[in-house]
A and B are shown apart, each in its own frame.
Chain A
Amino acid sequence: MQGFQSHTGVMMPLLRDNVDTDVIIPSREMRTVSKTGLLEGLFAPWRYLQVDERVPNTDFPMNQSSFNGASILLAGTNFGCGSSREHAVWALMEAGFRVVIAESFATIFFNNALRNGLLPVALSREALIDLMEWCAIDPQVHRPTVDLQTGTVEAGHQQIMFEMASDARTMLLSGLDEIGLTEQNRDAIETFENQDRQRRPWIYLDQR
């Protein structure tokens, strides 16, 4: 997985609540058993007027030149709700996004983001609006810096703090692979299983 330390980039505002994973990457856009090939499908229902012909909707920020090269996304509450599809994270990353700043996140999306090196940053509504206003002056020039080490979003003279649990921070900073980490607990897992087999033998179907 890709590690994350600090990132400066163009921010694309999408200040809506409950942006769901069906909108981020519709099921019909996931055509292969793969984590890639999702770029065109990202936000397809909002990004295109005619989905099949890919006719761009110029009202949607992704289709506006001021947000060219955007790598930070801003949204409202409960971002990434709905389906558990990790494709939502993969599609955002394929399009170059490294950070999503939102008022809150759906749990599965949040976990998926952490596991792929996409930084989910939760900020208050007021902070979101301040940030949006600063970026709106000139999105290509007013580019926020998101620093995981210090837990801050820097936007001009404002410095906004954000929280990140220490274990999630460590994982993101190092880009460590979780399966590898968990292997270090192999003995504890086996001890648990041996005791549990006595307590709940019916769970262990290999004995049937």
Chain B
Amino acid sequence: MPETLFDKLWRAHEICQLSDQQSLIYVDRIVLHERTGSIALASLAARGRAVRQRRHAFCTMDHIIDTTPGRNDNTRMPGGRDFIIATRTAAQEMDITLFDINDPDQGIVHVISPELGIAQPGATLVCPDSHTCSLGGLGALAWGVGSTEATHALATSTLRVRRPGNHRIEFVGDLPAAATAKDMILFVIRELSAAGGAGQALEFAGAAVRQLSVEGRLTLCNMATELAAFTAVIAPDQTVFDYLKGRPYAPTAAYWQAAETHWRTFFSDPTARFDHETTLSISHLKPQLSWGTSPQHSMDWDATIPDPEQAGDAVTRDAWRQAQRYMHLQPRSRLSDYRIDAAFIGSCTNSRLSDLRMAGDYLRRSGFRVAPGVKALCVPGSGRVKRAAEAEGLDEVFRSAGFEWREPGCSLCFYAGGEHFDEGARVVSTTNRNFEGRQGLQVRTHLASPLSVVASACAGYLTAAGPH
């Protein structure tokens, strides 16, 4: 019977069916961070259990640790030091691989999983973090879980999982030069809504996806959770295999050929049936910016902000009103009417080398500097990204343009009571969530690609880069 990519991934890991809805799925890799992983490890210890396959579990420090140079266990987040120490102690006691604060391979969990070869095509990976779906960009079946499920995975190497539906999202046309993978995914969320992928495993397909680098694919899959999807996957191809070769936890030379042969079987058969299919034309895709407090509140960067009076139903109208009140925006105005206070490049969505290059090239080419009064930050996603960027002189490019250059971590992607943007600040950000208070109290976040963030930072107001 013809199968989808997801069907094949599922079948390859299905130990048995537990009921007509649920299967026991083998979990190849478990990745943890100090925010939620600490609790999963503590629960495991409280039950007197060990990690069943301790070489398959990895832990990093990314959420709570400071990203200012010279950092240590102290962090501005209340209680943060306890999370760091608890995680370190638990990881050592459980004898799992830990990428601690000053480890050269430390970084944001979803940035290091692919770059160290922990995540692989055709493999399952879970992490108590919603953006685990990023790893679908490699052709892995990866999804976010809660702490209790993470404990289950650590204890048993399995999870009891309800089988999601299949939904293929096919992009038609070539991606215009001014648009990026980030614009593609914001466009998808805008079209399908923040609940548009509920209960589904998405597959991103089409020539434009195949032309994306691995890093672009990771960006695309990263925000599947913003569609409420179970996860997203992209069929692995030569681009992925070339990317993985030689990475520390990737298959060694002895197994490489067998692994590659195995990986090549993971694609959707031409006649496979999907529960849903969506086709989106991107030939004329413009850079996308979010205006509201849900990623579905996104639009072409130069469009007008919607008028709640024109909303289709009362709940939407109220949601738009509330979002516009929070964001301090007028209906029918344009985003370019609004000055920004800050610009942020970073997060598991857009903190990889290609993202930094994209923003850095803009600064190099234009010779622009950050506009006066705008606080601008660039936070590389990992130690490896940071060193590679520095080897190309990107740190100097950012610094001399007026950006701060930080140590790797989640940083100001989210506010946990520590570092934050000023109360009420308007921030243009490469992150994935524009929820109320996400980057600080009353902070107004506009989601954008690295290119749009750097262009806005230099202009001092919301805009996109490129000829317009």
Contact = CB atoms under 8 A, between A and B. Distances in A.
Contact of B36 (A81, A84, A179, A206): A84
B146 interface: yes
A31 interface: yes
A162 B31 CA distance: 36
Interface in A75-102: 76-78, 81-86, 89
A33 interface: yes
Interface residues of A, number: 61
B79 interface: yes
B208 interface: no
A14 B15 CA distance: 41
Interface stretch (B247-255, B302-310, B348-356, B357-365): B247-255
B421 interface: no
B57 to A, nearest CB: 10
A106 B160 CA distance: 17
A111 B15 contact: no
A168 B437 CA distance: 34
Interface string A171-208: 00000001101110100110011001001111111101
Interface in B228-276: 228-230, 249, 251-252, 255, 258-259, 262
A30 interface: yes
A30 B78 CA distance: 9
B384 interface: no
A167 B18 contact: yes
Contact of A111 (B18, B145, B318): B145
Contacts of B318: 16
Contacts of B424: none
B252 A185 contact: no
B86 A107 contact: no
Nearest to A186: B156
Contact of B194 (A18, A22, A185, A192): A18
Contacts of B79: 31-32
Contacts of A78: 194-195, 198, 228
B78 A86 contact: no
A77 B316 CA distance: 11
A27 B146 CA distance: 15
B416 A28 contact: yes
Contacts of A199: 262
Interface string B132-174: 0000000000001111110110011110101010000000000
Contacts of A201: 255, 258
A204 B435 CA distance: 40
A206 B146 contact: no
Given A30-B416, A78-B198, A22 B146 contact: no
Nearest to B255: A202
B129 to A, nearest CB: 6
A137 B417 CA distance: 40
A189 B158 contact: yes
Contacts of A202: 251-252, 255, 258-259
B205 interface: no
Contacts of A13: none
A85 B301 CA distance: 32
A208 B55 CA distance: 10
B408 interface: no
Nearest to A89: B146
B258 A106 contact: no
A36 B244 CA distance: 41
A104 B198 contact: yes
10 contacts: A18-B195, A20-B433, A27-B417, A31-B79, A51-B441, A108-B144, A189-B26, A189-B156, A201-B255, A203-B120
Interface of B: 15-16, 18-22, 24, 26, 28, 35-36, 38-39, 42, 47, 49, 53, 55-56, 77-79, 82-83, 86, 120, 122-123, 128-130, 144-149, 151-152, 155-158, 160, 162, 164, 194-195, 198-199, 225-226, 228-230, 249, 251-252, 255, 258-259, 262, 294, 296, 315-316, 318-319, 322, 414-418, 433, 435-438, 441
Given A23-B436, A83-B129, A167-B18, 14 more contacts: A16-B322, A17-B315, A20-B435, A22-B433, A27-B35, A27-B417, A30-B416, A31-B79, A76-B315, A84-B146, A182-B24, A185-B16, A199-B262, A205-B55
